Amino acid sequence: MDSAEKSANKISSMGSGSIDQVDDDDSPYARKDNKGLKSSISHQDSDLHSRGWDDVSVYNAKKKNYAWFQAPDGKWELAKIISVTGTESLIAFSETKVLKVQSDCLLPANPEILDGIDDLIQLSYLSEPSVLYNLQYRYERDMIYSKAGPVLVAINPFKTIPLYGDDYMQAYKRKKIDSPHVYAIADTAIREMIRDEVNQSIVINGESGAGKTETAKIAMQYLAAVRGGSGIEYEILKTNPILEGFGNAKTSRNDNSSRFGKLIEIHFSEIGRIAGASIQTFLLEKSRVVQCTEGERSYHSFYQLCAGAPPSLREKLNLKSAHEYKYLQQSNCYTISGVNDAEEFRIVVEALDIVHVSKEDQENVFSMLAAVLWLGNVTFQAVDDNNHVEPMIDEALLTVAKLLGCEAENLQTALSTRKMIIMNENIIKRLNLTQAMDSRDALAKSIYSCLFDWLVEQINKSLSAGKRLSGRSISILDIYGFESFDVNSLEQFCINYANERLQQHFNHHLFKLEQEEYIQDGIDWAKVDFEDNQACLSLFEKKPLGLLSLLDEETTFPNATDMSFANKLKEHLNDNPCFRGERGKAFTVHHYAGEVKYDTTGFLEKNRDLLHSVAIQLLSSCTCKLPQIFASSMLSLTEKPAVGSLNKSGGADSQKLSVTLKFKGQLFQLMQRLGNTRSHFIRCIKPNNSHASGIYDQQLVLQQLKCCGVLEVVRISRSGFPTRMTHQKFARRYGFLLLDHVASQDPLSASVAILQQFNILPEMYQVGYTKLFFRTGQIGKLEDTRNRTLNGILRVQSCFRGHKARLILREMKRRIFTLQSFVRGQKDRKEFAILLHRHRAAARIQKRIKAINVRKDYKKLYDASDVIQAVIRGWLVRKSTEGTCLQRFKGNKDDVVVNKTYLADLQRRVLKAEIGLREKEEEKEMIQQRIQQYEKRWSDYEQKMKSMEELWQKQMNSLQSSLTLAKQNLTVDDFSDPSVNLTSANNFSRRNSNDAAGASSNEMSAGLSLISRLAEEFEQRSHVFGDDAQFLVEVKSGQAEASLNPEEELGRLKQSFEGWKKDFGARLRETKVILNKLSSEEGGSGRGGEKVKKNWWGRLNSSRVN
d(CA 480, CA 468): 32
- How are beta strands 151-155 and 678-685 bridged, if at all? parallel
**Per-residue pLDDT at 844 exceeds 70:** yes
In whole angstroms, what is the distance from residue 148 CA to residue 710 CA? 7
Give the pLDDT confidence score for residue 216 in this predicted structure. Answer: 93
Q: Residue 645 — pLDDT band, cuts 50, 70, 90? A: very low
φ/ψ of residue 107, rounded to 5? -115, 135
758-808 residue pLDDT tens = 888 888 888 888 888 887 667 767 777 888 888 889 999 999 999 999 999
For the ranges 3-12, 526-535, 820-829, the one whose mean pLDDT is highest: 820-829
Which residues share a beta bridge with 682?
A: 152, 204
pLDDT at 8 over 50: no
> What is the DSSP-derived secondary structure letter of residue 641?
P
pLDDT digits (tens, 9 = 90+) for 1039-1055: 666 667 777 777 787 78
pLDDT score of 524: 77
pLDDT score, position 423: 66
In this prediction, residues 934-946 reach a mean pLDDT of: 80
* DSSP assignment of 95-152: TTEEEEEEGGG-EEPPPGGGTT-SBGGG-SSB-HHHHHHHHHHHHTTT--EEEETTEE
User: What pLDDT does residue 656 have?
Assistant: 60
What distance in Å separates the CA atoms of residue 130 and residue 136, rounded to the nearest whole number? 10
Which residues make beta-bridge pairs with 767? 772
Task: Report how far residue 639's alpha carbon sits from residue 655's, in angstroms, rounded to the nearest whole number.
Answer: 8
* Chain mean position to CA 1093: 115
pLDDT band per the 50, 70, 90 thresholds, residue 283 = confident
Cβ partners under 8 Å of residue 285, min gap 6 = 249, 259, 260, 491
Model confidence pLDDT, tens digit, residues 215-256: 999 999 999 999 987 788 899 999 999 999 999 999 887 888
Give the chain's count of helices (H) and strands (E).
34, 24
* Residue 1031 identity (one-letter amino acid): F
Contact (CB, 8 A) for 215 and 684 = yes
Q: pLDDT tens-digit profile of 367-408? A: 999 999 999 999 999 888 778 899 999 999 999 999 999 999
pLDDT digits (tens, 9 = 90+) for 120-129: 877 877 788 9
> What's the pLDDT at 655?
47
Output 723 or 681, whichever has higher pLDDT: 681
Give pLDDT, residue 754: 83
Q: How far apart are CA 569 and CA 586, in angstroms?
A: 10
Q: What angle do CA 806, 810, 811 make, to 5 degrees?
A: 120
pLDDT score for 806: 94
pLDDT band at 58 (very low <50, low <70, confident <90, very high): very low
Q: Name the nearest CA neighbour of 210 among 35, 19, 20.
A: 35
pLDDT at 973: 53
- Give the total residue count for the chain: 1106
Of 391, 783, 719, the residue nearest 526 (C-alpha): 719
Residues 6+ apart with CB under 8 A from 51: 44, 45, 128
Question: What's the pTM?
Answer: 0.63
- Report the distance separating Cα 105 and Cα 67, nearest Å: 10
Helix, strand or coil, per DSSP, at residue 360: helix
Task: Report residue 1061's pLDDT band, with 50, 70 and 90 as the boundaries.
Answer: confident
d(CA 393, CA 409): 9
Residue type, 963: L
Instruction: Name the packing angle between helices 128-139 and 3-12 (round to 10°).
Output: 90
Please give the pLDDT value at position 252: 82
Question: Looking at residue 816, what is its pLDDT?
Answer: 94
Q: Looking at residues 897-910, what average pLDDT do you find?
A: 76
Average pLDDT over residues 262-281: 91
Q: How many Å separate Cα 596 from the centre of its chain? A: 50
Q: Which of 173-182, 755-764, 812-821 has the lowest average pLDDT?
A: 755-764
* 854 pLDDT higher than 50: yes
Q: What is the dihedral of CA 866, 871, 873, 874, to 10 degrees?
A: 140
Question: 650: helix, coil or strand?
Answer: coil
Distance (Å, whole) CA 187 – CA 191: 6
Phi, psi of 519 (to 5 degrees): -65, -45
Element (H, E) at 419: strand 417-422
pLDDT of residue 347: 96
Are the C-beta atoms of residues 495 and 483 closer than 8 Å to each other? yes
The confidence score (pLDDT) of residue 837 equals 93
Q: How many CB atoms lie within 10 A of CB 746?
A: 10
The residues, ordered by sequence, that sit 6+ positions from 1062 with a Cβ below 8 Å of its Cβ are none
Long-range contacts at 844-848 (CB < 8 A, ≥ 24 apart):
none
Of 898 and 344, which is predicted with more confidence?
344
- Per-residue pLDDT reduced to its tens digit, 469-510: 667 899 999 887 788 888 899 988 998 999 899 888 887 777
Rounded CA-CA distance 516/512 in Å is: 6
Cα–Cα distance for residue pair 415/411, rounded to 1 Å: 6
Neighbours of 495 (CB within 10 A): 25
d(CA 783, CA 22): 47
Contact 559, 741 (CB under 8 A): no
Give the C-alpha separation, 11 to 288, whole Å. 41
Does the pLDDT value for residue 537 go beyond 80?
Answer: yes
Residue-level pLDDT at 894: 53
pLDDT (0 to 100) of residue 465: 67
Q: Is 179 in contact with 119 (CB distance < 8 Å)?
A: no
Average model confidence (pLDDT) for the chain?
A: 80
- Cα-Cα end-to-end distance for the chain: 153
Where b means 16+ CB within 10 Å and e means fewer, 253-277 reads bbbbbbbbbbbbbbbbbeebbbbbb
What residues contact residue 722 under an 8 Å CB cut-off, 6+ apart? 149, 150, 774, 775, 776
Q: Which range (252-256, 580-584, 1006-1010, 1017-1021) has the least confidence? A: 1006-1010
Torsion of Cα atoms, 288 then 294 then 299 then 303, to 10°: 140
Residue type, 731: A
- Classified as helix, coil or strand, 84 is strand
989 by Cβ neighbours in 10 Å (0-12 / 13-18 / 19+) ranks as exposed
Q: Vertex 878, ends 874 and 879: CA angle to 5°?
A: 115
Order of all β-strands in the sheet with 200-206: 145-148, 151-155, 678-685, 200-206, 472-478, 261-268, 274-282
Q: Is the pLDDT of residue 1057 over 90?
A: no
Please tell me the predicted confidence (pLDDT) of residue 4: 36
CB 289 within 8 A of CB 327: yes
What is residue 592's predicted lDDT score, i.e. its pLDDT?
Answer: 83
Residues 6+ apart with CB under 8 A from 587: 566, 569, 570, 573, 579, 580, 581, 597, 598, 600
b/e map 566-583, b = 16+ CB within 10 Å:
bebbeebbeebebbbeee
Active site residues: 208-209, 213, 254, 257-258, 481, 483
More confident residue, 694 or 420: 694
Does residue 849 register a pLDDT over 80?
A: yes
> Which of the listed ranges 518-527, 874-883, 905-914, 1000-1009 does the model predict with the highest average pLDDT?
905-914
Report how far apart, in Å, the C-alpha atoms of 344 and of each of 206, 303, 306, 897 are. 26, 10, 11, 110
Tens digit of each residue's pLDDT (9 = 90 or more) over 296-351:
999 999 999 999 999 999 999 999 999 999 999 998 899 998 899 999 999 999 99
Q: How large is the average pLDDT for residues 92-119?
A: 82
With beta carbons less than 8 A apart as the criterion, state whether 713 and 139 touch: no
pLDDT in tens, 953-984: 787 787 777 777 766 766 655 444 444 443 43
Q: Which amino acid is at 398?
A: L
Tally of CB atoms within 10 A around 606:
20
At residue 84's C-alpha, the angle toward residues 81 and 87, to 5°, is 120
Beta strands per DSSP E along 86-199: 88-93, 97-102, 107-108, 145-148, 151-155
pLDDT of residue 455: 96
- E-strand spans in 157-260? 200-206, 248-249, 257-258
Q: How many CA atoms within 13 Å lie on the side-chain side of 93?
A: 27
- pLDDT tens-place string over residues 133-150: 999 999 999 999 999 878
Arithmetic mean of pLDDT, 816-839? 93
pLDDT of residue 1006: 62
* pLDDT band, residue 640 (cuts 50/70/90): low
Q: Per mean pLDDT, which of 89-98, 440-449, 640-649 is the most reliable?
A: 440-449
Q: Is the alpha carbon torsion for 711, 713, 716, 720 positive or negative?
A: negative
pLDDT greater than 60 at residue 14: no
Provide mean pLDDT across the span 415-427.
Answer: 79
pLDDT class of 644 with cuts at 50, 70, 90: very low
